[in-house]
């Protein structure tokens, strides 16, 4: 199954500037940000900011491959690790790309859960690509409120926690396989189960592969994935890392999957991640392959997680913003708007 053509509105990925070292060991430091960017960042840490956008723990601005600003909250050290929450979904999609690169997986490959082997069970038609597109077409409630029934809470913290993929695989179809978009952490954990199948669902083998093929090559040494009791990486939610290491992952995406002198991902793979599906519009965002997109806003794309964890990427200006913290649901939209404005301000600020 060929990749869809890249949307013409998407800007090309910028190369690493000539002579500039990659941040595999340490981040090259750029010129300090200008007063408008600095004021916008400081506003997130000021008295009263928590009531507007939640508690901000870390903000990084990277431009042209250089770290131009790193701001942490009181008592937070740069070596501190943070939860990825759903930013992990894009890390998972990247790991799937590594298996495709190695010839160990194909986009058209069936998911092939054993529960779906019965005659006439159309769930057996689901493919890796369907899962990447969040089109498993399985019934799911992605709710984070104690007031409503929530499949994601039951999967992560309740009866589904021991075997997250089995919990999801038991869900019925709500439409033809591969046709119904539903943002679902369950779908991601089915995809993580497919990833784990290449390693006989051994967490140690999966972790070793991720370190050897992804984390270590880009210097993301703090990265820590978490697995359930069945050996499935909880790829919907859990990859802990420092703010600078999340920025390293962002730079890999911003460079189109290339790091130093090699392509870590297949040609065009990151383009496919950031290419929005034409029939998907989710609260003002587009969705590619386990990656959020805003093609109408200069082609920027993003990793986004619960409580407003963000890695925002603007290829046209070679700019990245990382924001980590704790933001309640009722302030999530305001925090996203703050982060988008920061990205725009930083993109216009060239030191």
pLDDT, tens only, 189-221: 999 999 999 999 999 999 999 999 999 999 999
Q: If pLDDT is split at 50, 70 and 90, which confidence band does 296 have?
A: confident
Q: For the chain, how many structural domains are there in total?
A: 1
Q: Is the pTM of this model over 0.85?
A: yes
| Inside any domain, residue 12 | no
| Inside any domain, residue 21 | no
Taking the C-alpha atoms of residue 264 and residue 288, their distance in angstroms, rounded to an integer, is 20
Q: If pLDDT is split at 50, 70 and 90, which confidence band does 7 have?
A: very low
Model pLDDT, residue 192: 98
Query: Residue 337 maps to which CATH number?
Result: 3.40.710.10
Q: Is the pLDDT of residue 269 over 60?
A: yes
Q: If pLDDT is split at 50, 70 and 90, which confidence band does 70 have?
A: very high
Q: Is the pLDDT of residue 2 over 60?
A: no
| Inside any domain, residue 26 | no
Q: How many residues does the chain have?
A: 351
| Inside any domain, residue 18 | no
Q: What number is the average pLDDT over the span 285-309?
A: 93
User: For the segment 140-196, what is each residue's pLDDT rounded down to a tens digit?
Assistant: 999 987 678 899 999 999 999 999 999 999 999 999 999 999 999 999 999 999 999
| Inside any domain, residue 91 | yes
Range of the domain at 134: 35-348
What secondary structure, in 3-state letters, does the chain show?
CCCCCCCCCCCCCCCCCCCCCCCCCCCCECCCCCHHHHHHHHHCCCCCHHHHHCEEEEEEEEECCEEEEEEECCCCCCCCEECCHHHHHHHHHHHHHHHHHCCCCCCCCECCCHHHCCCCCHHHHCEHHHHHCCCCCECCCCCCCCCCCCHHHHHHHCCCCCCHHHHHHCCCECCCCCCCCCCCHHHHHHHHHHHHHCCCCCHHHHHHHHHHHHHCCCCCCCCEECECCCCCECCCCCEEEEHHHHHHHHHHHHCCCEECCEECCCCCHHHHHHCCCCCCCECCEEECCCCEEECCCCCEEEEEECCCEEEEEEHHHCEEEEEEEECCHHHHHHHHHHHHHHHHHHHHCCC
| Inside any domain, residue 213 | yes
Q: If pLDDT is split at 50, 70 and 90, which confidence band does 3 have?
A: very low
Q: If pLDDT is split at 50, 70 and 90, which confidence band does 246 have?
A: very high
| Inside any domain, residue 16 | no
| Inside any domain, residue 1 | no
Q: What number is the average pLDDT over the span 51-79?
A: 98
Q: Is the pLDDT of residue 295 over 80?
A: no
Model pLDDT, residue 339: 97
């Amino acid at each position: 199954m060929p990749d869809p053509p890249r949307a013409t509105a998407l800007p090309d990925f910028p190369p690493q500037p000539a002579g500039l070292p990659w941040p595999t060991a340490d981040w090259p430091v750029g010129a300090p940000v200008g007063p408008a960017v600095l004021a916008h960042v400081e506003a997130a840490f000021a008295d009263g900011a928590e009531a507007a956008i939640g508690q901000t723990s870390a903000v990084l601005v990277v431009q042209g491959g250089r770290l131009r600003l790193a701001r942490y909250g009181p008592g937070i050290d740069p070596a501190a690790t943070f939860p990825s929450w759903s930013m992990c979904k894009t890390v998972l999609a990247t790991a799937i790309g590594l298996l495709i690169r190695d010839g160990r997986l194909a986009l058209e490959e069936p998911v092939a859960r054993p529960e779906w082997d019965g005659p006439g069970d159309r769930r057996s038609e689901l493919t890796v690509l369907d899962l990447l597109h969040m089109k498993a077409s399985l019934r799911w409630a992605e709710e984070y409120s104690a007031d409503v029934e929530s499949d994601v809470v039951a999967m992560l913290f309740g009866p589904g926690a021991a075997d997250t993929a089995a919990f999801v695989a038991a869900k019925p179809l709500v439409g033809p396989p591969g046709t119904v978009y539903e943002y679902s952490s369950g779908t991601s954990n089915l995809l993580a189960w497919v990833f784990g199948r290449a390693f006989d669902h051994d967490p140690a083998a999966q972790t070793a592969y991720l370190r050897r093929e992804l984390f270590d090559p880009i210097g993301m040494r703090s990265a820590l994935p978490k697995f359930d009791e069945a050996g499935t990486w909880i790829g919907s939610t859990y990859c802990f890392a420092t703010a600078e290491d999340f920025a390293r992952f962002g730079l890999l995406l911003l460079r189109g999957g290339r790091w130093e002198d090699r392509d870590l991902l297949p040609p065009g793979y990151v383009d496919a991640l950031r290419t929005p599906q034409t029939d998907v519009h989710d609260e003002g965002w587009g969705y590619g392959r386990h990656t959020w997109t805003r093609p109408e806003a200069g082609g920027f794309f993003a990793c986004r997680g619960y409580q407003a964890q963000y890695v925002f990427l603007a290829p046209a200006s070679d700019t990245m913003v990382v924001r980590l913290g704790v933001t309640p649901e009722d302030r999530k939209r305001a925090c996203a708007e703050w982060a988008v404005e920061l990205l725009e301000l930083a993109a216009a600020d060239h030191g």
